[in-house]
Copies of this chain bind each other. A is one copy, B any other.
Amino acid sequence: MATTIRDVARAAGVSQATVSRALSMPELVRADTRARVEAAARELGYRPNRAARGLITGRTGNLGLIVPDLANPFFASVVKGVQAAARAADHSVFIADTDEEAGAEVDLSRALSKQVDGLILCSPRAPDEELAAVGSDTTVVLMNRMAGERPSVTVDNADGMRQALEHLVALGHRRIAFVAGPRTSWSNAQRETGLRGTAEAGGVDLVHLGHFPPQFEGGVAAADLAVASGATAVIGYNDLVALGLLSRLGARGIPVPDAISVVGCDDIGMSAMNHPALTTVSVPKRSAGRATVGLLLSMLDAGAEAGPVHRELPTQLIVRDTTTVAPVSPTKGSTR
């Protein structure tokens, strides 16, 4: 039914081999026959079947992307970056959403592995040993986390936290709360160590508030703990968490940023739209997506020659309206 290479060959009066060559290695075939083939192909609307080609070349021209939750704007942006880069390189991308379901990435990656040249795995929470199970069949690059010797693309979370903390310190805050994300999240760990390091250096009281789901509701739940802690500023694991904080603080009538400053992380679109606009550390989501497919693609045609690679992208604090100088008389905490 669909037009095949044989149809083109017949129409052009040549063999299939010539058609194949004319289209993919044009310099190997004489100019006039090449023209005949091209004309016939255009005429018949021929498009090579990539699956059949992949069968013999080993390259399918497909990439796989596994993310925990497409509805999370952070991942949505990453996906867009991946998409764009893949399309530019003439690749298609399978996208699978694990729905935050533990262990699903293993199944999904196995299902995909035969159909793709490489896999991008975005699995912040899965334990390392689980990741080890995936991708013996296909080349895998991790995104937004590191694990073992696996190639990966990450963002400099620790430095982002440093920027946020120094910003707050410069504003006079000395007791600062951090609303932690999921206990097993890789980037949460990064952010915590980043915070701890600069907190010690800067002499600030860092209050660690339990582990909360990295969503709006998590921030809502954490807000009361934050004000009770006597902190004059709160850093949310996430923009979503930070927005949750803002919401609950607003509901309680606590003015932001005058009574308490809030900063988020990720810089999702919503943050700029909020009122007041959220101060946040921006992570290059699109670029990270692009960089990851760049790395993956380069690994693919390097032919596993270079060792494991790692790229880390910078983060950047964006100061908006939810941070200001610390209130003059903090309710409690060390002001000495």
Residues of A that sit less than 8 Å from B by CB: 2, 47-52, 54-55, 60, 62, 70-71, 73, 76-77, 79-80, 83-84, 87, 92-97, 99, 108, 110-115, 137, 216, 243-244, 247, 250-251, 269-270, 273, 275
CB <8 Å contact, B247 and A115: no
Chain B nearest CB, measured from A120 CB (Å)? 13
Bound together, the chains give a CA A250 to CA B274 distance in angstroms of 11
CB <8 Å contact, A97 and B115: no
Bound together, the chains give a CA A47 to CA B95 distance in angstroms of 20
Q: Which residues of B contact A247 (CB under 8 A)?
A: 273, 275
Task: Out of B48, B55, B97, name the residue touching A55 (CB < 8 Å).
Answer: B55
CB <8 Å contact, B70 and A114: no
Q: Which residues of B contact A250 (CB under 8 A)?
A: 275
Chain B nearest CB, measured from A134 CB (Å)? 13
Q: Which residues of B contact A108 (CB under 8 A)?
A: 87
Bound together, the chains give a CA A87 to CA B96 distance in angstroms of 9
Q: Which residues of B contact A60 (CB under 8 A)?
A: 51
CB <8 Å contact, A269 and B71: yes
Question: Can you identify 14 A-B contacts, CB atoms within 8 angstroms?
Answer: A47-B111, A51-B51, A51-B52, A51-B55, A70-B76, A70-B83, A71-B80, A73-B73, A79-B95, A79-B97, A83-B97, A87-B108, A92-B115, A93-B96
Q: Which of A49, A51, A87, A270 is the most central at the interface, judged by chain B CB atoms within 10 Å of its CB?
A: A51
Residue of B nearest to A104 (CB): B87
Residue of B nearest to A60 (CB): B51
CB <8 Å contact, B70 and A99: no
What is the count of identical protomers in the complex?
2
CB <8 Å contact, B114 and A50: yes
Chain B nearest CB, measured from A252 CB (Å)? 11
CB <8 Å contact, B49 and A114: yes
Q: Which of A2, A50, A70 is the most central at the interface, judged by chain B CB atoms within 10 Å of its CB?
A: A70
Chain B nearest CB, measured from A75 CB (Å)? 9
Q: Which residues of B contact A114 (CB under 8 A)?
A: 2, 47-51
Chain B nearest CB, measured from A74 CB (Å)? 10
Q: Which residues of B contact A251 (CB under 8 A)?
A: 275
Residue of B nearest to A250 (CB): B275
- 8 nearest A-B residue pairs (beta carbon): A51-B51, A95-B95, A83-B97, A71-B76, A216-B273, A49-B114, A70-B76, A76-B76
Residue of B nearest to A217 (CB): B273
CB <8 Å contact, B94 and A92: yes
Q: Which residues of B contact A92 (CB under 8 A)?
A: 94, 96, 111-112, 115
Q: Which residues of B contact A270 (CB under 8 A)?
A: 270
Bound together, the chains give a CA A115 to CA B96 distance in angstroms of 17
Bound together, the chains give a CA A92 to CA B92 distance in angstroms of 13
Chain B nearest CB, measured from A231 CB (Å)? 22
Chain B nearest CB, measured from A282 CB (Å)? 15
Bound together, the chains give a CA A158 to CA B38 distance in angstroms of 49
